[in-house]
A = this chain, B = another copy of it.
Amino acid sequence: MPANFKTALIAARDIAEAGVRSALSGVDLPVAEAMSYAVIGGKGLRAFLVLEGAKLHNRASASAAPAAAAIEALHAYSLVHDDLPCMDDDALRRGLPTVHKKWNEATAVLAGDALQALAFQLVLQTQCSAEARVALALSLAEAAGLHGMVGGQALDIAAETAAAPLTLPEIERLQAGKTGALIEWSAMAGARMASADPTALQIYGRALGRAFQIWDDVLDVEGDAAKVGKALRKDDAAGKATFVSLLGLDQAKRRAAALVEEACDALSSYETRADCLRDAARFVIARET
């Protein structure tokens, strides 16, 4: 991992975690502890995208920090609910017990619910004009909901009981919602804060999200469960279609590499100031976890 990117990623994760922790301080309930637990220890990629995009539009970290914390809270909520027994039924996340294993299902449902509300609370505290805050929060609601992330999760669940495995366009639509929508939102957030044109960052974020998901499928086949921190090869065992099962391992990797190129090229107008975002894109298809 390039040193600059690594430093920025850790800083972004710390900023996001501090934002969430501060919002939870003073509440002495298991659900508050579970919310904090769910957010801590994530990679912080989405917070990094928010803060880097903000920097490109001359917004200081401090003013963009609530949006970075918001997207990590939203992402954490989706993982907590996704791990529930009635959903993916996962016992491990980032190498640690999932929230419903460490506490119980009711606490996991409520912690996820409160993290979603917290995400909207935080994003609305971003330091920018009221118009920009409305744009940030409205686009976050769209990215999180039926036409974004939850829609993708619903397609995923429908696929489990479908007669035939999904086709490539169906998988792409599913992933565009499930993983892509939040990554795209994160990349665009900085431009939105500045009420600037977010198109270049949107193209970057969309390509990055696609590469990210393809690489997750690659890791599910080639990865080391101890490093990835969760159970692997569940998709294959369940007969689920993935980018790897549909494209083959080699072509999946080539497609991910092409998407990374596309992501980097989209940032040309930002010149070398976007190098850290380019490093992030290249890292997505080099990571082992």
Q: A-side interface residues toward B, CB under 8 Å?
A: 24, 27, 29-32, 35, 77-78, 81, 84, 86-87, 104-107, 109-110, 112-114, 116-118, 120-121, 124-125, 129-131, 133-134, 137-138, 140-142, 144-148, 150-151, 153-155, 157-158
Docked-complex contact A117 and B134, CB < 8 angstroms = no
Question: What is the predominant secondary structure among interface residues of chain A facing chain B?
Answer: helix
Docked-complex contact A145 and B124, CB < 8 angstroms = no
Docked-complex contact A157 and B86, CB < 8 angstroms = no
For A145, the chain B residues whose CB sits under 8 A away are: 114, 117-118, 121
Query: Which residue among A32, A129, A154 has the maximum number of chain B CB atoms within 10 Å of its CB?
Result: A154
Docked-complex contact B112 and A113, CB < 8 angstroms = yes
Tallying the copies of this chain within the complex gives 2
A177: min CB distance to chain B, Å: 11
A23: min CB distance to chain B, Å: 8
Residue from B104, B114, B154, B155 in contact with A146 in the complex, judged by beta carbons closer than 8 Å: B114
A73: min CB distance to chain B, Å: 10
Docked-complex contact B87 and A109, CB < 8 angstroms = yes
Please name 5 pairs of A and B residues whose Cβ atoms are closer than 8 Å in the assembled complex, sorted by A.
A30-B154, A32-B146, A86-B106, A120-B120, A130-B133
Q: Please, how many angstroms separate the alpha-carbon atoms of A201 and B280 in the complex?
A: 50
Q: Please, how many angstroms separate the alpha-carbon atoms of A129 and B29 in the complex?
A: 36
Asked if A106 meets B134 with Cβ closer than 8 Å, knowing A31-B154, A158-B29, the reply is: no
